[in-house]
Structure 1
Amino acid sequence: MPTNRRHISRASAPRTTHNPRPVSMSDVAAAAGVSQQTVSRVANGMDNVSEKTRRQVLEAMRDLGFRPNYAGRSLRHGAYHAVGLCVYDITKIGNLTMLDGILAAAREHNRAVTMIEMADDEAFTLAEASRRMAELPVDGMIIGMSRMAPDFETFLPQPGMSTVIVTMYAHPWCTTVDSDHYGCSALVMNHLFEHGHEQIRFVAGPSHSIDSQFREAGWREALQERGLPTPEPYEGDWTANSGYEIGKKLVSDKDMTAIYVANDQMAMGVIAALREAGRRVPEEISVIGIDDSLDIMVPHVELSTVRFDLRERGRIVFEHSVQEPSTDPVAIRIPGTLVKRSTVAQRF
């Protein structure tokens, strides 16, 4: 059937795998029967091209294997419209949910997110994370600092690039954003005190975790303000299995009436061990966690906990990463919300 649309045979079109040089705009222009300026307009998404011509040029680009030089275009315009994200272990629930918030904010701003993940065995410094990000086509960067970087106090961000660090610590040159891992302990401890508990044990996360360090500090201060003993905390690794092993050790503690656990997964492990040994939760021992992260995995969640809006945290870090670099950085701490369920009971 006759057609006015220019057709390029795939058999006769040059193949990029055999072409000794990259396909250029002039190649596309020649194949499509248009000017290089028209090809440039199509490649840059401009609307002053007829739909027929646009389809013609796009077909030529596809058949020739032409790829517009977006990096060069970004350099000419002075922006990549992308933000870099560096985190440890993206599989962690907190990082995944924060990433969801970052991506949602990026969609709203018509930006892209470029991510690198630091391995657990890598020597982490802010300077190295910043250097790796600066080599990528990004306009700003977000660095998740789940463990203390040795150069935190001396780190200087890349000139002209907004840098946001996800941490509880304030930084002299960078905005920092995090959930309030110290304030959440005040919510937990006041809730337990209101229910008559004083012998409160703490199950911590890994010793390198900044989140766990601040949660433990809040637990210690709450006890010390009331003149109550602060026994040595137990250390887990955030998993339910580590909580279960710690719970087996806590079974023999006849003085405790409540256990504050640094995350929900470990808290569930602690409860399983206590109940397996015949200790009643919450009638005999109350247990409370942090994160409120079980509802997608556990039906009818019974665990009392503190909920953080991690998607909101992601949105906030993104918003600050796309702002102009500031000489007056801020420290933003997002409070949690106490979620009262059935694992905390009144102590008589």
Structure 2
Amino acid sequence: MSPSRPDPSQGDTEPPAGSAGDDRPRVRRRRVSMADVARLAGVSAQTVSRVSTGHPGVVASTREQVIAAMRQLGYRPNSAARALKYGEFRTIGVITFTLSTTGNSRTVEAIATHAAAEGYVITLIPVAAPTQDRVLGAFTRLGELAVDAVIVIMEVHLLDASTIVLPPGVHVVVVDSDAGQRYRVVDTNQADGTRQAVRHLLDLGHRTVWHVAGPPESYAAERRAAAWRATLVDAGRDVPPLRRGDWSAGTGYRIGLELAEEPDCTAVFVANDQMALGVLRAMHERGRVVPRDVSVVGFDDIAEAGSFIPPLTTVHQDFAEVGRHCVEAALLQVRTGTTQTGTTLVPTHLVVRASTAAPPQTHRPAPPP
């Protein structure tokens, strides 16, 4: 005989709270607080706060102890409550047009690293096309996400437009722009790096230096092109026709094929290392040996530059320093409640490798007497 089943109508069973037909009030679980974590971990609430914000000034063993307590209790920091209490969200917004270029991707990486060291996180907003409407939309979006400051990585002149109105109270730092009179700008000293590259080639004995520039809407490309031209003019040298690419190795290759047909082209300064790679390939395919026949200098000093054939002479940009200065400039404005302007330039320097040498004629033996 099978055991009898309880009859619900007799009240022997009770449906769980919240099930259909249950009129009992739901019991809301109390949110775990920072004080709960502090009690379990045996530390102060301030220590828990430091651990939850990623503050570096906590002993490793104590940090592990607090994190274990957080996990055991299921504690999650309430960023909104923290913002109300301390007046900040500990978040930095980053607007960028592309992550495909070396400078942008390495700058974003550096910003994230230095922000984390200060107990901040970043919110990245990519802008699909560099238009005023899209830039303004990105600022509006960051305002909705509640950030303390915004770092803008842009290669165009949009921030100079009077139609761009930024949300009130948001502190701004701009990378790679000429907006220093309106915002705080951080950049590498690209003009000086260009002068070093061109002077290096002239000092080797080249009569002049040809240039493969970046796109005209890029402020960095324009500064490098202007410094190239000025250095040649100051040295009393002819200025060859400017060639323009789009930062890619493909356009460097196309322009390199054209330059290989120029018999007077013995030295080329290229506005970035990717295009320089294309120029090296084009010269090789046309039988012009680098650096015996043509010297090539790039810009950026990407990690692979020393592995090109031949290893590339290039201008080194310290993107880690750019990121550090950006975060410091943003947090200074946040902590002081001030709006700052002006430009900080991070030094550049030339790294000489095997892609540059004296021009061809100096390799030839002197004619017999």
Q: TM-score, normalised by structure 2?
A: 0.76
Higher mean C-alpha deviation, range 102-111 or range 302-311: 102-111
Q: How does 1:120-135 map to 2 (within 5 A)?
A: 120=129, 122-123=131-132, 127-135=136-144
- Measure, in 2, the Cα distance between the counterparts of 1:12 and 1:83: 45
Q: 1:227 offset after TM fit, Å?
A: 2.5
Q: Which moved more, 1:79-88 or 1:116-125?
A: 116-125
Aligned 1:267-286 pairs, distance under 5 A: 267-286=276-295
Distance 1:229 1:257 in 2: 13
State the partner residue of 2:211.
202
Q: Does 1:345 align with 2:345?
A: no
Offset at 1:131?
A: 2.5
- Counterpart AA for 1:220: R
* Equivalent position of 2:33 in the other structure: 40
Identify if the C-alpha distance between structure 1 residues 207 and 28 changes in structure 2 by more than 3 Å, giving closer, same or farther. Answer: same
Q: Which runs of 5+ in 2 are unaligned?
A: 1-14, 20-25, 43-65, 363-369
For 1:140, which of 146, 149, 174 is the aligned residue? 149
Change (3 A) 1:84 1:259: same
- Residue 252 (structure 1) shift: 1.3
How far has the Cα of 1:312 moved from its partner?
1.2
Deviation of 1:226 after TM superposition, in Å, equals: 2.2
CA drift at 1:304:
0.3
User: Match of 1:335?
Assistant: 347
Give the letter aligned to residue 50 of structure 1.
Answer: L
Distance in 2 (CA, whole Å) between partners of 1:110 and 1:278 is 54
CA displacement at 1:115 relative to structure 2: 0.9
Q: Alignment length, in residue pairs?
A: 313
Give the structure 2 partner of residue 5 of structure 1: none
In the other structure, the counterpart of 2:5 is: none
Contact 2:89 2:148 in 1 (8 A): yes
* Structure 1 unpaired stretches of 5+: 1-10, 16-22, 30-35
> How far 1:168 moved relative to its partner?
3.9
Relative contact order, higher structure (CA 8 A, sep 6+):
1
Aligned to 1:27: 28
- What does 1:213-228 align with in structure 2 at a 5 Å threshold? 213-228=222-237
Alpha carbons 1:99, 1:311 under 8 Å: kept? no
Q: 1:200-245 CA distances to partner (integer Å, 9 max, x unpaired)?
A: 1100112211111110000010111123222221111111121111
Judge conservation of contact 1:141–1:161 (CA < 8 Å) in 2.
Answer: yes
Q: Residue deviations 1:250-282, cap 9 Å, x none?
A: 111111220010011111111111121111211
Are 2:211 and 2:268, in contact at CA under 8 Å, matched by a contact in 1? yes
Larger radius of gyration: 2
**Aligned partners of 1:340 and 1:329: how far apart in 2?**
35
The answer for the alignment partner of 2:246 in structure 1 is 237
C-alpha offsets along residues 101-135 of structure 1, whole Å, 9 cap, x if unaligned?
11221121111111100013654665444333222
Among 329, 334, 339, the residue aligned to 1:320: 329
C-alpha deviations, 1:30-57, integer Å up to 9, x for none? Answer: xxxxxx7xx33358x5x2x2359x9999
Q: 3-state DSSP class of the match of 1:132?
A: helix
Structure 2 CA distance, aligned partners of 1:198 and 1:56?
A: 70
**d(CA) in 2 for partners of 1:83, 1:304:** 36
Larger fraction in helix: 2
Tell me the secondary structure at the aligned position of residue 332 of structure 2.
Answer: coil
SS in 2 for 1:332: strand
**Cα drift, residue 311 of structure 1:** 1.2
CA RMSD of aligned residues (A): 3.1
Contact 1:164 1:320 in 2 (8 A): yes
**In structure 1, distance between residues paired with 2:312 and 2:17:** 64
Find the aligned partners of 1:335 and 1:125 in 2 and give their Cα distance: 32
- State the one-letter code of the partner of 2:90: H
- AA paired with 2:354? S
1:1-348 matches, within 5 Å, as: 27-29=28-30, 39-42=32-35, 47=38, 49-51=39-41, 69-120=78-129, 122-123=131-132, 127-149=136-158, 151-152=160-161, 157-295=166-304, 298=307, 302-324=311-333, 325-347=337-359, 348=362
**Could you state the TM-score of these two structures normalised by the residue count of structure 1?**
0.80
Aligned letter for 1:27?
R
